[in-house]
């Protein structure tokens, strides 16, 4: 049986890698920085994404304390839960935010903004890019630094190509085939073809 789609672990690892790059670039101290990992905790694929982000970040940056935040995977749900987390962690100057999807990260970045945390003290790395791009449409600085763009059209194209290869050339279906993903940011999201929703 063939499976064509996206890999939750692969996507999470890309998010964690980019967050580590942004963290190193910012030059923050681990002692006054926290990571918020936000996701609906009974959704297995979300857990895969977040765990992979944690592992990739740890491999590429200092050990920063992580706070797991249970959400309903919506922007407002994440915003409410993360706002409470910010309030409970007075003294934290810098925040890294990732989650299962763009909704969690956008909610987290908005909660930071509402709490008076400046855009330069937040590293949000989304997953999807369809909401992250809203942060980049205006001229205001945003804590949303990057997002992994996942394009559903790429999954369809890969499925059609696999079917064509099977029927035309007798090539076996791959056991697993993953569509490509692209990390985008305020300067590259439009050229990558992200559709803001």
Q: Exposed (0-12), middle (13-18) or buried (19+): which is 160, by Cβ within 10 Å?
A: exposed
Does residue 192 lie within any of the structural domains?
no
Does residue 195 lie within any of the structural domains?
no
Does residue 40 lie within any of the structural domains?
yes
* Range of the structural domain that residue 7 is part of: 3-184
Instruction: Please count the structural domains in the chain.
Output: 1
Does residue 41 lie within any of the structural domains?
yes
What element of type H or E holds 117? none
Q: Identify whether the C-beta of residue 38 lies closer than 8 Å to the C-beta of residue 107.
A: yes
User: CATH no. for residue 73?
Assistant: 3.40.50.2300
pLDDT per residue, tens digit, the chain (197 aa), is 565 556 789 999 999 999 999 999 999 999 999 999 999 999 999 999 999 999 999 997 779 999 999 999 999 999 999 999 999 999 999 999 999 999 999 999 999 999 999 999 999 999 999 999 999 988 889 999 999 998 766 555 555 665 666 678 877 766 665 667 889 999 999 999 888 87
pLDDT of the residue at 126: 97
Does residue 135 lie within any of the structural domains?
yes
Pairing of strands 176-178, 122-128: unpaired
Does residue 10 lie within any of the structural domains?
yes
Does residue 194 lie within any of the structural domains?
no
Cβ atoms within 10 Å, residue 188: 14
Give Cβ neighbours of residue 128 (< 8 Å, ≥ 6 apart). Answer: 101, 102, 147, 148, 149, 150
d(CA 58, CA 55): 5
pLDDT of the residue at 8: 82
Does residue 26 lie within any of the structural domains?
yes
């Amino acid at each position: 049986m063939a499976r064509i789609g996206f890999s939750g672990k692969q996507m999470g690892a890309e998010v964690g890698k980019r967050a580590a790059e942004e963290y190193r670039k910012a030059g923050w101290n681990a002692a006054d920085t926290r990571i918020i990992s936000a996701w609906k905790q009974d959704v297995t694929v979300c857990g895969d994404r977040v765990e992979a982000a944690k592992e990739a970040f740890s491999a590429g940056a200092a050990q920063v304390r992580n706070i797991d935040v249970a959400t309903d995977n919506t922007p407002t749900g994440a915003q409410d839960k993360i706002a409470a987390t910010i309030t409970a962690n007075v003294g934290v100057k810098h925040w890294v935010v990732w989650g299962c999807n763009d909704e969690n990260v956008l909610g987290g970045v908005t909660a930071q903004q509402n709490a008076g945390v400046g855009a330069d003290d937040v590293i949000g790395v989304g997953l999807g890019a369809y909401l992250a791009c809203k942060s980049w449409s205006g001229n205001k600085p945003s804590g949303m630094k990057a997002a992994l763009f996942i394009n559903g059209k790429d999954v369809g194209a890969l499925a059609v190509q696999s079917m064509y290869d099977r029927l035309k050339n007798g090539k076996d279906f791959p056991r697993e085939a993953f569509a490509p993903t692209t990390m985008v940011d305020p300067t590259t999201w439009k050229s990558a073809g992200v559709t803001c929703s």
